Amino acid sequence: MKITLRLILSLIFIVAAVAFSFSFWQARQEEARLKNELERRANIVADSLKMSVEPLLSSDDKRYLQRIVDKFSNRERLVGIAIHDIQENLILASTDLLPKLQENPKVIAPNIQDVEKLSTEQGKFISFGKQQLHAYSVPLLTNEKVSHVLTIFHDAAYIQDRVGRIWINSFQRASIQAFLIALATMILVYLNIMTPIRKTTEWIRKVRQGESLEKLDPKGQQLLGPLANEITKMAKSLEMARFSAEEEARLRHTTESLWTPDRLKEFVRDKLKGRPLFVVSNREPYMHIKKGKEIECIVPASGLVTAIEPVLKACGGMWIAQGSGDADRETVDKDDKLRVPPEEPQYVLKRIWVDKELEDGFYSGFSNEGLWPLCHIAHTRPIFREKDWLAYMAVNKQFALAVVKELEGISEPNILIQDYHFALLPKMIKAARPDARVAIFWHIPWPNPESFGICPWQKEILQGMLGADIVGFHTQFHCNNFAETVDRFLESRIDYEHFTVSREGHTSWIKPFPISIDSNSTNGISSELKETKESLLKKHNIQADYMGVGVDRLDYTKGIIERFRAVEHFLEKNPEYIEKFTFVELGAPSRTMIAKYKEFVDDVVQVGEKINARFKTKTWQPILFLMKHHGHSEITPFYKAADVCLVTSLHDGMNLVAKEFVSARDDEKGVLILSQFTGASRELRDALIVNPYDIVQTAEAIKNALEMSAPEQKERMRNMRSVLKDHNIYRWASELVGELAQVRMDKV
């Protein structure tokens, strides 16, 4: 209340000061105007009277002159007229004025003296008793010499009356304005500050007491928006901490232990002795793009980003990646670095700039037209060109130099290299920094030796990867393939019992690390999302009782076309679901500079349109294809509202979409249909596992999912969510970092 009173008094003071200043200026202006107007009127009267009076001055009979003076004295605000000689003797005056002049004979002496000396007209404001008058004197000539002075007296009291009225009016206006401002301020403060603060305080109290966040919406308070956002984040952190503590206590009771960001942070601090963690990848976690005149920060569509960022958020350190946004250069400092995430910086992102020509050969060419189809058995022929290989080596060397520069002054640094873009990087870093702890994690499958033998530079790639202390894959099957490939193409000693490769005095450990997600980000916190299945579909003029969802990069390995055809077959065999089931595909364009990908997108669009043309009605269509980059906030409502999620990759390392869907379903509803060719199928065994090439089997799985009983859905989802809790991204990071630290200690 004191703050409100201070605010009101301050506003009243400001209004009063402004009103006083404006009134003062207005009063001065009005007073000057009225005085000038009176002076001008007196001048006109004096000039008119002078012509009549001068010829009569020499006459001894003053009666006619007296009549003229009395006649002119009857005009508006004119008090009287007097004539003096130059010795200041009164000759005559209008009848009403004469007694007053006789009482004060010297009242206009200064005017007479000035007129005599200057022979010009003179006007002055004088006090005549209690009366304020304006005396205007003009010279009268006799024989062309000043012999008399004619003075006209006007009542000037009205000028002060006018000025006084201005002050009174201003005071009244200021009083009314102050009252209205005070009233409006009290209302605004109450509605926009006091009420939101009271609601927010009540909200915080409820959060502190462990009540649900779902019924509270501090973001709706516009004036306190930034504060509400920060309080919301703090409350969520508190809720997550409470949930983690409860979950850890529960697991401790069952001799298990839950991995959390805080636990990972302590683990990394203990294992790495405070040394920072460096992550190297081609794709950056945050990209800045130009949107009109504004710069927007987006998170690129990537399972790698989803998996790795929680690790750096927990541990701190640096992420080194290629800058690919058209506004990336405008947002970094002189060292090409910035702190991220933008809303709450927790680690450093360093961007590397790769020339367009090199990028085409390194990324589009060797990485995605060569290694990607080579490692994915998706019946797409890999293409290997020498110029692409040279670009691949050049970019790996460019990154190696950048990484080594960042390692200056750090003993036994820890580097985690991501994916197939940097197969040569481990050896390059080791050559410059033998004391570095290096791990490479291969996020895609590793093929059998016969398939890998297609690559003309298989030995160079294997030698580069074996520069790492740890070579990680998603599954043991991929580890087996890698070890067999090394055995086939390189001179080395392989220990299959411990899964190590020893070569040229260096030992590399080959281990499976099934990557996961931060399942705690949604657990324990009630959803604030208001979207429903109906509202999501209504935006696209679709009405349906059931909804399926798929979330993918538009890649030929994801089995999107096979998925569409399974939906088509499902509707053929189950016509009762026509106008009742819609499948939504959220597809993020990817690698569009590669011809194979452009052709694939065209094929997806064509197949989807063909199926829709066959079945669609006025208010329904079987397939809704939304092709654009979708942020997590856009995807999550579909996860939460879908009856079934289809992950039908033809070949995949892990596929985190399956885990994201399970993590989002805190209602323990919905069914996951999962390809047997994904790493996730080894963990999420309560999903409906299918062969994506078998269209009939996938269509039957859709029917089984839609008709599955609620208790069975709940049991399956609960089991899969339990797996995610136990095997989250923090456990993955702890196992990888722990193994890396152990290898280095063994070698000391």
pLDDT digits (tens, 9 = 90+) for 55-107: 877 777 777 888 887 877 767 778 888 888 877 788 888 877 777 777 777 76
- pLDDT band of 635, cuts 50, 70, 90: very high
Task: Give me the chain's average pLDDT, please.
Answer: 86
Instruction: Annotate 273-318 with three-state secondary structure.
Output: CCCCEEEECCCCCCEEEEECCEEEEECCCCHHHHHHHHHHHHHCCE
500 and 622 housed in the same domain: no
Q: What confidence category does residue 525 fall into, taking pLDDT thresholds of 50, 70 and 90? A: very low
- Of the residues 512, 543, 575, which one is the last residue of a structural domain? 512
675 within some domain? yes
Q: What is the tens place of the pLDDT at every residue in 638-659?
A: 999 999 999 999 999 999 999 9
Nearest to 666 by CA among 243, 217, 208: 243
Average pLDDT over residues 244-262: 61
Q: If you average pLDDT over residues 525-542, what whole number do you get? A: 79
Rounded distance, CA 383 to CA 405, Å?
A: 34
Q: What is the DSSP string of 324-355?
A: -STTSGGGS-TTSEEEESTTS--EEEEEE---
Query: Is residue 370, in this structure, part of any structural domain at all?
Result: yes
Task: Please check whether residues 687 and 634 belong to one and the same domain.
Answer: yes
> Which of 171, 159, 224, 220 lies closest to 193, judged by CA?
224
- Where is pLDDT greater, at 613 or 201? 613
Residue 526: per-residue pLDDT: 43
Report the amino acid identity of residue 295. Answer: I
Please indicate, yes or no, if residue 193 is contained in any of the structural domains. no
Report yes or no on 323 lying in a domain.
no
Grade residue 523 by pLDDT with cuts at 50, 70 and 90.
very low
| Same domain, yes or no: 271 and 419 | yes
Asked if residue 542 lies in contact with residue 620, where contact means CB atoms within 8 angstroms, the answer is yes
Q: Which residue type does 170 have?
A: S
413 and 278 Cβ atoms separated by less than 8 Å: yes
* Confidence tier at 231 by pLDDT (50, 70, 90): low
Question: What proportion of the chain, given as a percentage, has pLDDT over 90?
Answer: 50
Q: What is the mean pLDDT of residues 245-262?
A: 61
Answer yes or no: is pLDDT of 282 > 90. Answer: yes
Q: Give the domain range for residue 97.
A: 2-161
pLDDT in tens, 322-338: 998 999 999 999 999 99
Asked if 540 and 569 sit in the same domain, the reply is yes
Q: Identify whether residues 405 and 496 lie together within a single domain.
A: yes
Best-predicted range by mean pLDDT among 160-169, 205-214, 375-384, 565-574?
Answer: 565-574
Are residues 552 and 451 part of one domain?
Answer: no
Residue 79 covered by a domain = yes
**Peptide bond between residue 105 and the one before it cis (omega within 30 degrees of 0):** no
Helix (H, G, I), strand (E, B) or coil at 24: helix
Task: Please give the tally of structural domains in the chain.
Answer: 4
Residue 173 counted as domain residue: no
Full 3-state SS string of 601-647: HHHHHHHHHHHHHHHCECCECCEEEEECCCCHHHHHHHHHHCCEEEE
Give the domain CATH number at 15: 3.30.450.20
Pairing verdict, β 122-128 and 131-142? antiparallel
Identify the residue with better confidence: 468 or 315.
468
Asked whether residue 237 falls in the same domain as residue 267, the answer is: no
User: For residue 656, what is the domain's CATH number?
Assistant: 3.40.50.2000
- Burial of 498 (C-beta count, 10 Å sphere; 0-12/13-18/19+): exposed
From residue 161, give the alpha-carbon distance in Å to each of 22, 132, 171, 193.
18, 11, 15, 46
Inform me whether the pLDDT recorded for 722 exceeds 90.
yes
Candidate from 72-76, 157-161, 604-608, 615-619 with smallest mean pLDDT: 72-76
The confidence score (pLDDT) of residue 210 equals 58
- Would you say residue 150 lies in a domain? yes
Q: What is the pLDDT of residue 383?
A: 95
The segment with the largest mean pLDDT, out of 231-240, 295-304, 364-373, is 364-373
Residue 443 pLDDT exceeds 90 = yes
Q: What is the 3-state secondary structure (H, E, C) of 73-108?
A: CCCCCEEEEEEEECCCCEEEECCCCHHHHHHCCCCC
| Residue 567, C-beta contacts closer than 8 angstroms, at least 6 positions apart | 548, 581, 583, 611, 622, 623, 699, 702
User: Span 14-24, mean pLDDT?
Assistant: 82
- Cα-flanking dihedrals φ and ψ of residue 170, to 5°? -65, -40
pLDDT digits over 619-632, tens only? 999 999 999 988 88
SS (H, E, C) 437-451: EEEEECCCCCCCHHH
State whether 506 and 582 are in the same domain. no
156 lies in some domain: yes
**pLDDT tier for residue 254 given thresholds of 50, 70 and 90:** very low
Q: Are residues 47 and 110 in the same domain?
A: yes
Same domain, 502 and 551: no
Write out pLDDT tens, residues 139-154: 888 877 888 888 888 8
The pLDDT value given to residue 394: 97
Q: From CA 87, how far away is CA 81, in angstroms rounded?
A: 18
Model confidence band, residue 701 (pLDDT cutoffs 50, 70, 90): very high
d(CA 479, CA 475): 7
- Do the Cβ atoms of 740 and 439 come closer than 8 Å? yes
The per-residue pLDDT for 224 is 56
Same domain, 252 and 267: no
| CA–CA separation, 746 and 470 (whole Å) | 13
Pair (554, 491) in one structural domain: no
pLDDT higher than threshold 60 for residue 668: yes
